[in-house]
Amino acid sequence: MKDFDFKVPQTIKFGMGSLREIPGLVKSEMKTDKVFLVSDRGLESIGVVKKVVDLIEAAGISCESFLDVVPNPTVACVKDATAKYKESGAGCIVALGGGSPMDVAKAVGVLATYGGEIQQYVGTGKVPGPITPIIAVPTTAGTGSEVTASAVITDEITNFKMSVFSYEQIPKFAILDPELIMTAPASVAASCGIDALIHAMEAYVSNNATPFSDAMAEKAMELIGKNLRRFTANRKDSEAASAMMLGSNFAGISFAWARLGDVHALSHPVSGHFHVAHGVANAILLPYVAEFNAIADHDGKYEKIYRYIREEKGPVENFVPMMLVDELKKLNRQLGIPEKLSDVGVTEDKVDVMAEDAMKGQANIMANPRQTTLKDCVMLYKKAL
């Protein structure tokens, strides 16, 4: 067994109504009376932002908000948010939403503490030390961003999705309140939920996997496999919502330490160039990458994944890796995920530039269980088209 290390450097609070923990954390742990809330207009429109702001302000804490976060957030968005954070005089950040608000909050925390441009921190381990403390409050069961070390920001000039990876970015606290995901549309529950499943799967088969990351990934796949269809069918199902929220969190912890793979390396350029939702891009690519990686399954992990996600109960006989690939295709159909990239507007003329961008995500490419070349990326895109 190879050497490895891990830590879970934060406090995670889980439970129905746990949102109410925020004011106490701000006062007792952050020791500030001014908060900067990062969220988006969609959550504002359905009243979630107001609910959180009212909760904070009722405790006598001042709250300044930045709500102009967009999907696949850009360098310009980060600059605007950072400027407003500095003006606010806040002592901590509350990141409310899915991966995009959390990515922006992490980037703001870096720039507010160390200055410069976010491009200076792209890559691994370039954040020099602790950043502005963040309380992360996920409103989707998908990204796991509340426990991960990554912030993904899009360069709007080149459409390249840049990744800042540093354990210094992991939020200080995470609030997991299943009530926040119980109003999600079915399409959001499906795409976010399968994204969380992919996080666990890619971490599980990663070249960087360890017994710790495997334990987190296996529990994540157990929770998500049993509940993804159930939760997509009925978002009011509190047991399914709780399982999905925890599964997403455990998957996030897993890939924070084992990294991801070709699915994410390939999906980031799809979102960057064609503005396809991250979870949808991942889900479409998943069966094609799973088939590509099948010859690297030398330790039986494909069969374990299959057992976690299959609908049928009972023993599995004569397993072969293509059984998992077929099950993933079936799962996508059940969740209403398009089969091909062309179904979401991706065109072949961008394949070469997307493949080059995918290869720039070397951390994911290197973690993938099967060695992957530029030619392989082109082949996978064309197959998925």
Q: What is the structure's pLDDT at 5?
A: 77
What is residue 276's predicted lDDT score, i.e. its pLDDT?
93
pLDDT value, residue 158: 84
pLDDT of residue 326: 96
* SS percent in the chain: helix, strand, coil, step 5: 60, 10, 30
Arithmetic mean of pLDDT, 134-151: 92
The answer on pLDDT for 384 being more than 90 is yes
Fold observed for domain 184-384: Dehydroquinate synthase-like, alpha domain (1.20.1090)
DSSP secondary structure letters along 310-350: -SS-S---S--HHHHHHHHHHHHHHHT--SSGGGGT--GGG
Domain with CATH 1.20.1090.10 in the chain: 184-384
Question: Tell me: the pLDDT tens digits for 284-330?
Answer: 999 999 999 999 998 999 999 999 999 887 788 899 999 999 999 99
How many Cα atoms are found within 13 Å in the side-chain-facing hemisphere of 277? 18
DSSP 143: -
pLDDT tens per residue, range 86-110: 999 999 999 999 889 999 999 999 9
Question: Which pTM value belongs to this model?
Answer: 0.92
Domain 11-180 has what CATH class? alpha beta
Residue 6 pLDDT greater than 80, yes or no: no
Average pLDDT of the segment spanning 190-200: 96
What was the pLDDT predicted at 293? Answer: 98
pLDDT band at 8, cuts 50/70/90?
confident
Residues of the chain with CATH 3.40.50.1970: 11-180
N-to-C CA span, the chain: 39
Residue 142, pLDDT score: 86
For residues 267, 273, 278, 281, the Cα torsion angle rounded to the nearest 10 degrees is -50
> What is the pLDDT averaged over residues 6-31?
90
